[in-house]
Amino acid sequence: MAASLNGSKTADVVARAQALFEDLSFATARQWKASEPGRKVVGYMPIYVPREIIHAAGMLPLGIVGGGDQLEVIHGDAYYQSYICRIPRSTIELGVSGRLDFVDGMLFPSICDVIRNLSGMWKLMFPHVYSHYFDVPQNYRDDIGGNFYINELAELRHDLGEIRGNPITDDELRHSIAVYNENRRLVRDLYTFRAERPWQAPAAEVYLVVRAGLVLPVEEHSVMLRDYLATARAEERPMRDNCRIVLTGAFCEQPPLNLIKSLELSGCYVVDDDLLLVTRWLTGDVPTDGDPLKNLSLAFLHHSESTAAKYEPSQKEKGLYLVRAVKRSAAEGVIFAAPSFCDPALLERPMLQHVLKDAGIPYIAFKYAENSGQMQPIREQAGTFADSIKLWSGA
């Protein structure tokens, strides 16, 4: 049963989310597992997995997005050359240091070649853990990519059923879809609220509260989201003379929390972003009647976020998702923040920049690593960008 946080203040909710964020031993997930015999935990990496299937198996989906800036990577660096991004090395560090020793399975979604290859490394390093590369279609026709995806979902459903000891039923899946629909609605509500009143919901707080959903049971996370929304709405905070920006490119390896804070401190309200996309990948409710796998498949094909890891079949549509995000959130500019050596984000970036240029939307770009420590250059860049928007936009 999820603990209620009703009546708490924004700071209390954020403090709890921050504690979860800082806990690199995943104590909450460990406690969840230990509280009932037979419970299992399945980890997953960015960018998207259908958490409904894990949940329907009675398991806890655990989002693994690297080790952040507080994890000292000792072993992980021995697995990667200097020109590979940081998330796989810190994830390996989490694994070899025993921090994930309670995890019964790991899913490696189709996002890039580094995470793809990590799936094979995990099989070799942790042979007793269920490790699975989770493929998604790049063809969006119901009868082609859709059928392929339904079969991939069925394989995952079968495998998790085997681990549990009995098959996952349709009703269990439908229930889980409903639970995640509610969670996604709350995350979307939070994003909408932030876009309307960003001074009431600072980016770092929103990030922490959403990120808590990677480690908490979804029901508990929905309570947290509701509490945060209620308290953030009720608590008046001063509005700064900030510009409004969309943050993009940070969908896999996460920026340090300080980087997100620095953007706002330097004059940029983050009114939309692509952080932690798994929490809102599906953009509408998934139907809870009919064939649950088909419903998940159709939602993926036709109602999911666009990002660099997905193929865009239409040149006319290419990059417009970012322009739409800018318009939807009434943003005044875009900040491209990509992890160093991130193929998807960095290869996509020039195309997105061309689209923004055509739409007359200003942007800046920089790179980071999850353990970047020096924020001054980023503050200066973002501050100058904010000033230029204030001075020159609409002139």
Residues of the shown chain interacting with another protein in the complex, contacts defined by CB under 8 A: 78-81, 83-84, 88, 108, 110, 112-114, 116-121, 123-125, 132-133, 135, 137-139, 141, 143-145, 147-148, 151-152, 155, 308-309, 311-313, 315, 318, 338, 340-344, 346-351, 353-354, 367
- Burial of 346: CB neighbours in 10 Å, binned 0-12, 13-18, 19+: middle
272 forms beta bridges with 246
How near is the Cβ of 352 to another protein at its closest, in Å? Answer: 11
Which residue carries 């353990």 as its tokens?
A: 371
**255-266 burial: b if 16+ Cβ within 10 Å, else e:** bbbbbbbbbbbb
Between 118 and 195, name the residue whose CB sits nearer to another protein: 118
How near is the Cβ of 340 to another protein at its closest, in Å? Answer: 6
Longest pairwise C-alpha distance within the chain: 66
248 within 8 A of 274, measured Cβ to Cβ: yes
DSSP code of 132? E
How near is the Cβ of 369 to another protein at its closest, in Å? Answer: 12
How near is the Cβ of 142 to another protein at its closest, in Å? Answer: 12
Please compute, for residue 75, the number of CA atoms within 13 A of its CA located in the half-sphere on the CB side: 9
How near is the Cβ of 315 to another protein at its closest, in Å? Answer: 5
How near is the Cβ of 338 to another protein at its closest, in Å? Answer: 8
Between 158 and 237, name the residue whose CB sits nearer to another protein: 158
Region of 126 on the Ramachandran plot (φ > 0 left; ψ -120 to 50 alpha; else beta): beta
Between 121 and 320, name the residue whose CB sits nearer to another protein: 121
How near is the Cβ of 117 to another protein at its closest, in Å? Answer: 4
Between 8 and 139, name the residue whose CB sits nearer to another protein: 139
Which residue carries 């509500």 as its tokens?
A: 189
Alpha helices in the chain (DSSP H): 10-22, 27-34, 51-56, 87-96, 113-125, 147-164, 170-196, 203-211, 218-234, 257-265, 292-302, 320-328, 343-359, 376-392
Between 104 and 264, name the residue whose CB sits nearer to another protein: 104
Between 237 and 357, name the residue whose CB sits nearer to another protein: 357
Region of 276 on the Ramachandran plot (φ > 0 left; ψ -120 to 50 alpha; else beta): left
At how many degrees (to 10) do helices 170-196 and 218-234 cross?
20
Between 146 and 256, name the residue whose CB sits nearer to another protein: 146
